[in-house]
C-alpha cells in the first residue's frame, strides 16, 4: 500500500484506483486508509498500530491511592508485596501508585544502638583525635 501511495505521488485518490487495478480480488482500502497508514508511519516510524497507555481507573482510584500511600507512610518496613497482600490491591497497581507519587524502594534496617558507656567512648575518641591533630601542626 505504501509503495502504491508513493507511485501515486502521495495522492490517496490515485493510490486507491491503482490498488483496485493491481489487486482486483482483494478488499479495496479507501483513500482515508492510505492517509492514515502514511501518517502513522511518519509519526511512529513503524507499521504496527499505536497502542494506548490505559491505566485501569478502578484499580488506581483515589481510595486505593490513599490506602497504599497510608501503608507506605506508616509502615516503612513493608514492601510492595506486603502492601499488596494487606490491602488486596495487585502488586503492579501498588507499584504504579507508589511510582506516580515519587516513592522509591528502600528497606530501612536499624543495626546500631547506643549503650551505657558509648557517650564516654565517643568523648575519649574525640579527645584522642584532637590530640593527634594538634601534634601534627
For 46-81, what is each residue's pLDDT tens digit?
877 766 665 555 566 888 999 999 998 888 778 899
**Range name among 43-57, 72-86, 101-115 with the lowest pLDDT average:** 43-57
Quick one: average pLDDT of 95-105?
88
Give pLDDT, residue 132.
Answer: 92
Give pLDDT, residue 54.
Answer: 56
> What percent of the chain stands above pLDDT 90?
26
Name the DSSP class of 30.
P
Give pLDDT, residue 118.
Answer: 85
H/E run at residue 60: none
* DSSP 3-state of 132: helix
Give pLDDT, residue 52.
Answer: 64
**C-alpha cell belonging to residue 53:** 497507555
> What percent of the chain stands above pLDDT 70?
87
pLDDT for 118-137, tens place per residue?
889 889 999 999 999 988 75
Rounded to a whole number of angstroms, the distance between the first and last alpha carbons of the chain is 84
Amino acid at each position: 500500500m505504501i509503495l502504491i501511495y508513493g507511485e501515486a505521488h502521495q495522492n490517496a485518490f490515485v493510490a486507491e484506483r491503482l490498488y483496485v487495478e493491481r489487486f482486483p480480488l482483494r478488499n479495496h482500502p479507501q483513500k482515508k486508509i492510505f492517509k492514515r497508514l502514511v501518517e502513522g508511519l511518519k509519526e511512529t516510524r513503524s507499521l504496527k498500530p499505536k497502542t494506548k497507555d490505559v491505566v485501569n481507573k478502578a484499580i488506581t482510584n483515589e481510595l486505593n491511592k490513599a490506602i497504599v500511600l497510608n501503608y507506605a507512610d506508616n509502615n516503612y518496613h513493608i514492601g510492595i508485596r506486603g502492601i499488596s497482600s494487606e490491602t488486596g490491591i495487585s502488586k503492579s497497581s501498588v507499584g504504579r501508585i507508589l511510582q506516580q507519587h515519587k516513592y522509591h524502594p528502600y528497606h530501612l534496617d536499624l543495626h546500631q544502638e547506643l549503650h551505657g558507656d558509648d557517650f564516654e567512648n565517643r568523648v575519649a575518641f574525640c579527645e584522642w583525635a584532637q590530640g593527634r591533630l594538634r601534634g601534627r601542626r
